[in-house]
Structure 1
Amino acid sequence: MTQKIAFLGLGLMGGAMAANLVKRGYSVIGWNRTQGRPTLAPFTNAGGTLAQTLQEAVSDADVIFSCLGDVPDVTEVLIGEHGAMNFAKANALFIDTSTIGSDAAKVIANALMHDGLRFLDAPVSGGDVGARNGTLTFMVGGNPEDLQECRPLFEAMGSNIKHCGAIGSGQAVKLCNQTLVSVYMLALCETMQMAKKMGIDPQLVVDVCGSGAAGSWALTNLGMKVATGDYQPGFAIKHMLKDLRLVQEISQGVGQISDSQDFATNLPAIALAIENFQKVSQLDDGQGAEQGTQAMIRAYHSA
């Protein structure tokens, strides 16, 4: 427990993850770009220390976790002109749990390593439920020795820690994960529509189908939310659209896809998922983007 930990980004996911580190007895100092957010409460209530500045958070840390938004956010906070790498001590290990894609992870890793620092890309899956319960899946790219050094930290926050390969590999697997998750949501919304039309209790669908070949995390955790119109975010639509943008960028690069028409032909299910998420994100004067991914069902209602 002698490792000193910094945790940058105490949002819905990061706040709960950092809190679990504190609960395991680690010394954690957290930092969030916006002070006063309710998502800071799990961390501070667990006994975590809040830093007022980025420098204060990272200057004495052995391991620096980050859980931020999009590529520009992670880049600015970690390697920007006033980023964390400017204040970190030599050989500190940076672990980014955001979803930013392989290319961005490699750029950040190169900048950090050039400055005598280390890096793992370690995006997560499991939603806010997994973050609170410490049951997240971590998809880790980077030096396996670095992973082994901090494995107990991962185990404080997750139940499945998988080394995926070199730097960027964790991000690659995460985008595969998001491809599956987004298509599951299409199936889940259409299933609940069918159940309603046939007069079947949606809880029965969750219980019975969830115990067989159709079982999935999405069905178990989000099925009844779709059915009852509970759109509170565990993972917001705006974040899923960001992740699917990265999927689209990778697909266009790897497959030499030249335009959106070709993308829809090569990955039609993803194209439909993007279309539906975008429809919902534009509802409520743009506030639909803040709702959970299960709010995709609203695209069917508005059709």
Structure 2
Amino acid sequence: MIQKIAFLGLGVMGGAMSANLVKRGYSVLGWNRSKDRPTIASFTSVGGTLAQSLSEAVSDADVVFSCLGDVPDVTEVLIGEQGAINFVKNNALFIDTSTIGSEAAKTIGHVLMQRGLRFLDAPVSGGDVGARNGTLTFMVGGNPEDLQEYLPLFDAMGSNIKHCGAIGSGQAVKLCNQTLVSVYMLALCETMQMAEKMGVDPQLVVDVCGSGAAGSWALTNLGMKVAKGDYQAGFAIKHMLKDLRLVREISQEISQEINPEINPEIHQESDELQNLPIAKDFTADLPAIALAMQNFQKVSQMDEGQGAEQGTQAMIRAYK
């Protein structure tokens, strides 16, 4: 029987996900590095308890969920010198729902398992809407028995839970998901521009095209936001750029394995890679992703860098 759950990271996604666990009757201790995030209220308002320290949150937990930012954040919070690994009880299960790429997931999982702990990488898709409504898709990598044992927890937050393989497999599928999502946004922005030029009601595009072969989550949930210039973030551009950086890294690593003469700089640190020009092999092999990345980067630099905080639908600003 699950005695206690810790949830690390109460942002836009984590705040709503942890709240759904509480609504299902689970005892959840939440923790967030910044105590003034407005999203914490979605957790505490339904009865969730906010821990004052990381150690307090995880010390008695059977399950430790994390929903954090980038690879360094997850690494520090889970396995760093002051990370959760140092305070949990033996055999606790860590479930990371962040998007960090396969290699980082494998590394973190290995460190945890060496300390007698368990790990599932379980990135999500469905945006802030799915997080609030409990309809997220979970892409899970790791021991299927661990997933089966704690499946009710996933069911409290999502409607589609898929085991993808060994540790790192969930992350691999998530990068495929982000590849699709970023290209959808290119098509969505261009479609709304075309509709405007032809005098077509954008709501008609959403209703009609959304019911046919062109239907997608992006069209249904973000189509009118693009048309109306509503750029409030459900999933911020800065986070999409991070995910596409991971896509770029894996693309470059694959190219390096195939031909060691291509792109010898791929083993630099992630923050250095983020500042490198898009490699020729990346642009050639994945031209649509390269274009999406360029457009997101363009918008992220607007408003003195505050464009990065806007939702991915703000890509339309790159066309204007």
User: TM-score, structure 2 length as denominator?
Assistant: 0.93
Partner of 2:88: 88
Summarize the alignment of residues 273-292 of structure 1 with structure 2, pairs less than 5 Å apart.
Answer: 273-292=292-311
Gaps (5+ residues) in structure 1? none
- Kindly report the root-mean-square deviation, in angstroms, between the aligned alpha carbons of the 2 structures: 0.8
Summarize the alignment of residues 131-170 of structure 1 with structure 2, pairs less than 5 Å apart.
Answer: 131-170=131-170
Kindly state the Cα deviation for residue 260 of structure 1 after the two structures are TM-superposed: 1.1
Partner of 1:98: 98
Q: Deviations over 1:14-44 (max 9, x none)?
A: 0000000000000000000000210001100
Q: How many residues align?
A: 301
Kindly state the Cα deviation for residue 107 of structure 1 after the two structures are TM-superposed: 0.5
- Whole-angstrom distance in 2 between the partners of 1:173 and 1:72: 21
The equivalent position to 2:281 in structure 1, one of 259, 262, 265, is 262
Q: What amino acid does structure 2 have at the position aligned with 1:294?
A: Q
Q: What amino acid does structure 2 have at the position aligned with 1:275?
A: Q
Partner of 1:199: 199
Partner of 1:217: 217
Kindly state the Cα deviation for residue 3 of structure 1 after the two structures are TM-superposed: 3.1
Q: Secondary structure at the match of 1:61?
A: coil
- Whole-angstrom distance in 2 between the partners of 1:5 and 1:233: 28
Q: What amino acid does structure 1 have at the position aligned with 2:167?
A: I
User: TM-score, structure 1 length as denominator?
Assistant: 0.98
Summarize the alignment of residues 237-256 of structure 1 with structure 2, pairs less than 5 Å apart.
Answer: 237-256=237-256
Q: Deviations over 1:142-187 (max 9, x none)?
A: 0000000110000000000000000000000000000000000000
Q: Is 1:56 aligned to 2:75, yes or no? A: no
Gaps (5+ residues) in structure 2? 257-261, 264-277
Partner of 2:269: none
Quote the sequence identity (%): 84
CA contact (8 A) 2:101 2:175 kept: yes
Q: Secondary structure at the match of 2:45?
A: helix
Partner of 1:295: 314
Kindly state the Cα deviation for residue 254 of structure 1 after the two structures are TM-superposed: 1.1
Summarize the alignment of residues 93-132 of structure 1 with structure 2, pairs less than 5 Å apart.
Answer: 93-132=93-132
Q: Deviations over 1:71-114 (max 9, x none)?
A: 00000000000000000000000000000000000000011001
